[in-house]
C-alpha cells in the first residue's frame, strides 16, 4: 500500500465514522481557548474543564487576568499539572496580549508564539480552531497515532510529523483531521494498549499488520 493510498483510506474512514470532530475543551471566545490550551499541556481536557469556569468568572477578559498576581492565578489552577509554571505563563501571556495586541488573540504563528506559554503546538491549535487555518497541532496522541497507523514513518519530532500530515492531508480537512487523530488516540488507539478490536482502521494500520 502506498502512502497516498493509506492516507486516502484513513481519511475516508474518519470522514464516515467521525463527521463531527471538535476540541473537547470548553470555551466561549479565543481568549478562553488560549487559556484552556495553555492549561491542557500534560493535563487532561476533563481536568481543564473543571478548572476554567471559576477562573473565567474571576478573570473574564485578558485585561482582568493581566491585573491578577501570579499567586492569585495559582489559586484557581493549582489542581492542574505544573501549576507554578502555568500561573506565570498565564500572567505573562495576558500582559503581553493586552500590551502588544490590544487584548485580541492574534491569528499568525509568530505573534502567537511571542506570548509566554505558547509554543508551536498551542499556536497551531488556536490558528486551526479559532481561525480555521490549515495548521496541524501535534500532541502526544497525534504523534503516536500517525506513527502507528503508518501516516508517518520513524518520525522523530512533532515538527516532522506535522510536516508529513500537512503534506498529505487536503488543506480543507486539516483542522478536522487534527481532532480525528486526537480523539482516536484518546479513546481507541490508546498509549498503553490500543483497542484494535474496536478500530475500523485495522485493514490499513501498520501497527496492526505487524502486531495484530
- The response to whether 43 counts as a known ligand-binding position is no
Q: Are 48 and 36 in contact (CB under 8 A)?
A: yes
Q: Which residues are catalytic?
A: 121, 139
- The response to whether 80 counts as a known ligand-binding position is no
b/e code 42-71 from CB counts within 10 Å (16+ = b) = ebebeebbebbeebbeebebbeebbebeee
- The response to whether 189 counts as a known ligand-binding position is yes
Helix (H, G, I), strand (E, B) or coil at 35: helix
Phi-psi region of 44 (alpha: psi -120 to 50; beta: other; left: phi over 0): beta
Residue 16 CA to residue 12 CA, distance in Å, equals 6
Phi-psi region of 124 (alpha: psi -120 to 50; beta: other; left: phi over 0): alpha
- The response to whether 199 counts as a known ligand-binding position is yes
Binding residues for [4Fe-4S] cluster: 189, 196, 199, 205
Amino acid at each position: 500500500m502506498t502512502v497516498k493510498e493509506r492516507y486516502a483510506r484513513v481519511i475516508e474512514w474518519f470522514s464516515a465514522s467521525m463527521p463531527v470532530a471538535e476540541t473537547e475543551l470548553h470555551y466561549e471566545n479565543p481568549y478562553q481557548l488560549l487559556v484552556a490550551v495553555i492549561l491542557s499541556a500534560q493535563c487532561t481536557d476533563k481536568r481543564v474543564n473543571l478548572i476554567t469556569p471559576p477562573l473565567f468568572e474571576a478573570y473574564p477578559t485578558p485585561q482582568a487576568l493581566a491585573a491578577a498576581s501570579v499567586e492569585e492565578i495559582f489559586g484557581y489552577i493549582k489542581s492542574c499539572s505544573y501549576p507554578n509554571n502555568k500561573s506565570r505563563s498565564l500572567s505573562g501571556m495576558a500582559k503581553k496580549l493586552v500590551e502588544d495586541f490590544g487584548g485580541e488573540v492574534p491569528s499568525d504563528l509568530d505573534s502567537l508564539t511571542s506570548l509566554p506559554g505558547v509554543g508551536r503546538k498551542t499556536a497551531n491549535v488556536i490558528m486551526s480552531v479559532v481561525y480555521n487555518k490549515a495548521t496541524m497541532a501535534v500532541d502526544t496522541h497525534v504523534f503516536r497515532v500517525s506513527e502507528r497507523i503508518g501516516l508517518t514513518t520513524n518520525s522523530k519530532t512533532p515538527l516532522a510529523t506535522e510536516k508529513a500530515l500537512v503534506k498529505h492531508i487536503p488543506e480543507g480537512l486539516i483542522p478536522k483531521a487534527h481532532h480525528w487523530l486526537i480523539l482516536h488516540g484518546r479513546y481507541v488507539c490508546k498509549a498503553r494498549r490500543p483497542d484494535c478490536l474496536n478500530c475500523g482502521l485495522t485493514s490499513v494500520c501498520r501497527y496492526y499488520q505487524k502486531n495484530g
